[in-house]
């Protein structure tokens, strides 16, 4: 079957997804009889393009990476992302607009629009998971479609799908992990003698931290991921404001040196626990020693350990890849996996 795809957001992750789909197109055809065409693209600063018969995706990649507009590829005069969704005639929408911690917008509206037009909706955006999980899941079910978000936590490492498929009727009692690669890189580099400011600049230079690193270093990105896991896996709606994170700005070189002398290190630890129907969650710097599975997670490594009523401890880790810093390729694979799992059925 031929699927029409629309991309809302065409940054590093979405472009990596486009390249991954092209690389895997023969395997998709041979194994699942799935083919595809890109029929809509919305960018933040390089325009919009729609062609229900198929866009030239290679040309779109070239134009954006040359910082040029893609509007010349369009069959229609489209003005915004909702126009792209409505006019693309797509079967699947990939939503990768910037994360809004406070409201989940505009991603929420994008996903609602796609589902109402009978598209599968796939996102790496944590905002709509936290702020609209139940609503969007119910809307998707009413349309016979799927709302999927594997890349929202730990990039391409399967967290939601593993729990969904491998732990039927298991009750999640607690989770603990490291979810923010940027702060883990900063703390790792500070342990090696670098200053906080220089470690932040390094993360910005390799593209894992924004010009304003507030969401990372103050713990909001990690809190959003904790809230997403609690909302979905503990069936308890939670916002990052309820997590009330404490970031790493207060961790000084002196504190790190003292911890190192004691055989310990600081990590931005994310945790949640459910007891008597209530969930408590936190994001805060904590000292861990060599007995902790978090101790060995250095640089861009991330991971989570689940404790359930049937299996006491189950861990998923994403180790640092040589030459990479947990970048867009891994996140793109999570989107790709959600697409495959949606259409192969």
Q: Which residues form the catalytic set?
A: 225
Say if residue 315 is exposed, middle or buried (CB neighbours under 10 Å; 0-12, 13-18, 19+).
exposed
DSSP state of 98: P
How far, in Å, are 54, 115, 134, 226 from residue 4 at the CA level? 8, 14, 26, 33
A 10 A CB-CB count for 2 gives 10
Q: H-helix or E-strand containing 35?
A: strand 35-42
Contact 226, 283 (CB under 8 A): yes
Assigned token pair, 283? 């994001």
208, 221 contact by CB (below 8 A): no
Count the helix, strand and coil residues of the chain and give each as a percent rounded to the nearest 5: 40, 20, 40
Which residues, 6 or more positions from 164, have their beta carbon under 8 angstroms from its beta carbon? none
For residue 321, report the phi and psi dihedrals to the nearest 5 degrees: -95, 135
* Residue 344 backbone phi and psi in degrees, to 5: -70, -20
The 3-class secondary structure across 265-313, one letter per residue, is EEEEEEEEEEECCEEEEEEEEEEEECCCCCCCCCCCCEEEEEEECCCCC
Name the 3-class secondary structure at 168. coil
């Amino acid at each position: 079957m031929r699927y029409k795809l629309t991309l809302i957001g065409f940054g590093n992750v979405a472009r990596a997804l486009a390249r991954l789909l092209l690389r895997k197109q023969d395997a998709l055809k041979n194994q699942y009889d799935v083919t595809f065409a890109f029929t809509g693209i919305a960018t933040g600063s390089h325009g919009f393009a729609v062609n229900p018969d198929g866009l030239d995706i290679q040309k779109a990649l070239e134009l954006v990476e040359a910082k040029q507009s893609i509007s010349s590829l369009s069959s229609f005069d489209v003005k915004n992302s909702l126009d792209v969704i409505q006019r693309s005639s797509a079967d699947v929408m990939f939503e990768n607009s910037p994360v809004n911690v406070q409201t989940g917008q505009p991603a929420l509206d994008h996903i609602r629009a796609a589902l109402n037009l009978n598209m599968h909706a796939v996102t790496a955006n944590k905002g709509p998971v936290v702020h609209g999980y139940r609503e969007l899941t119910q809307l998707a079910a009413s349309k016979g479609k799927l709302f999927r978000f594997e890349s929202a936590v730990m990039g391409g490492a399967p967290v939601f799908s593993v729990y969904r498929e491998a732990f039927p009727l298991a009750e999640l009692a607690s989770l603990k992990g490291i979810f923010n690669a940027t702060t883990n890189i900063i703390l790792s580099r500070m342990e090696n003698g670098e200053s906080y400011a220089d470690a932040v600049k390094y993360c910005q230079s390799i593209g894992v931290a924004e010009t304003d690193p507030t969401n990372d270093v103050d713990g909001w990105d990690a809190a959003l991921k904790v809230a997403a896991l609690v909302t979905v896996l503990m069936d308890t709606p939670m916002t990052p404001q309820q997590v009330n994170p404490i970031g790493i700005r207060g961790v000084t070189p002196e504190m790190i040196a003292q911890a190192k002398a004691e055989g310990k290190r600081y990590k931005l630890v994310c945790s949640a626990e459910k007891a008597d129907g209530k969930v408590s969650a936190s994001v805060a710097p904590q000292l861990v020693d060599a007995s902790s599975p978090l101790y060995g997670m250095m640089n861009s490594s991330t991971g989570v350990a689940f404790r359930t009523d049937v299996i006491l401890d189950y861990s998923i880790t994403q180790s640092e890849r040589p030459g990479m810093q947990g970048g867009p390729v891994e996140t793109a694979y999570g989107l790709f996996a959600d697409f495959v799992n949606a259409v192969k059925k």
